[in-house]
Amino acid sequence: MNAFVAKDELPQSVPATNSDVLLRVDNVSLAFGGVKAITDISFDILKGEIRAIIGPNGAGKTSMLNVINGFYHPQEGTITWRGSVRSKMRPYEAASQGIARTFQNVALFKGMTTLDNIMSGRSLKMHRNFFWQLLWRGPAEREEIEHRRKVEDIIDFLEIQAIRKTPVGRLPYGLQKRVELGRALAMEPELLLLDEPMAGMNLEEKEDMSRFILDVNQEFGTTIALIEHDMGVVMDLSDRVVVLDYGRKIADGSPEDVQKSQAVIDAYLGVSH
């Protein structure tokens, strides 16, 4: 996996370690009826870091992301976001407080163009109300243009100028993932949740995506939590890794520590009984 740009080789414009805790999960448990998806998990995400969440299939990784961005409400435990403990939070409240995400199986607006998809990420930043929009001309139109400029920056950043006007349903999978990242970036999030950003990609696409993730982290200072199965990617990108198995946390630490952990090796390779 030395094809990937190792994080240490890049110029460090933003200090990677900053001891501020951006998000803390305390003793969270989540069950669907009798099925326990997450059991008593605690970890934190520091400001400015790339935090990986890994684990075998069905370990509860995606459920964890869904808890963080408000799709699921845990039965037990608390989530502390920017120092304040939040109870039930709706997804759009999470979004308005700076949590953006992408999905495991691309959730784009398939009928809309790349441009419109990314523009929809600006929804929360646009304030002209219903009646101004009915008029359309004037303030609402100026607002539209101003946001369009920001979106063009993102399009340039992700190098997807050529597909600006293509309906995303027609794009190949790798590009769809990139557009989805663009939509999340358009929200100018503080915390970006990436659910398997590289699933189903070939090596070249993975390299591109890794580069974008590192750039987002370092240039914009965005904190990133990502779920990924490709261990090479995880070890290269992340500052710290939390490992889940059957809904429980089995390891937490630097990539090197986690790799050495016996519990992790057992979870991935299986143990002989």
Partner 1 sequence: MLYDIFIDPFVQMYQMPDFFLQVLWEGFVAGILYALIALGFVLIFKASGVFNFAQGIMVVFAGLTLVGLHENGVPAYLALILTIGVMGILAYSIERVVMRPLVNQPDIILLMATIGLTYFLIGFGEFIFGGEPKRMIADELGLPTGSTAFEFGERGLVILQHIDVAAAVIAIIMVATLGVFFNKTRIGRALRAVADDHQAALSVGISLNQIWAIVWFAAGLVALATGIMWGARSDVSFALEIIAFKALPVLILGGFTSIPGAIIGGLIIGFGEKIGELYWGGLVGGGIESWLAYIIALIFLLFRPQGLFGEKIIERV
Residues that bind partner 1 (CB under 8 A): 69, 71, 90-92, 95-96, 100-101, 103, 107-112, 116, 119-124, 126, 128, 130, 133-134, 136, 140, 143-144, 183-184, 186-187
Residue 100 beta carbon to partner 1: minimum distance, rounded to whole angstroms: 7
Rounded distance between C-alpha atoms, residue 49 and residue 222, angstroms: 8
Min dist. Cβ of residue 133 to partner 1 (A): 4
Closest to 43 measured CA to CA, from 259, 236, 251, 195: 251
Nearer to partner 1, 76 or 93 (CB): 93
Comparison of 94 and 241: residue with beta carbon closer to partner 1: 94
246 and 263 Cβ atoms separated by less than 8 Å: no
* Percentages of the chain per state (helix, strand, coil), in multiples of 5: 40, 25, 35
Q: How far is the CB of 4 from partner 1 (least distance, A)?
A: 28
**To the nearest whole angstrom, how small is the minimum distance from the Cβ of residue 158 to partner 1?**
16
CA distance 176 to 68: 24
CB 153 to partner 1: min, Å = 17
Q: What angle do CA 85, 217, 38 make, to 5 degrees?
A: 40
Q: How far is the CB of 113 from partner 1 (least distance, A)?
A: 10
Question: Looking at residue 228, what DSSP letter applies?
Answer: -
Give the nearer residue to partner 1 in terms of CB position, either 126 or 263. Answer: 126
CB closer to partner 1 out of 53 and 192? 192
Amino acid identity at 13: S
Dihedral sign computed on CA atoms, order 185, 186, 188, 191 = negative
Residue (121 or 255) nearer to partner 1, CB: 121
Query: Cβ closer to partner 1: 69 or 222?
Result: 69
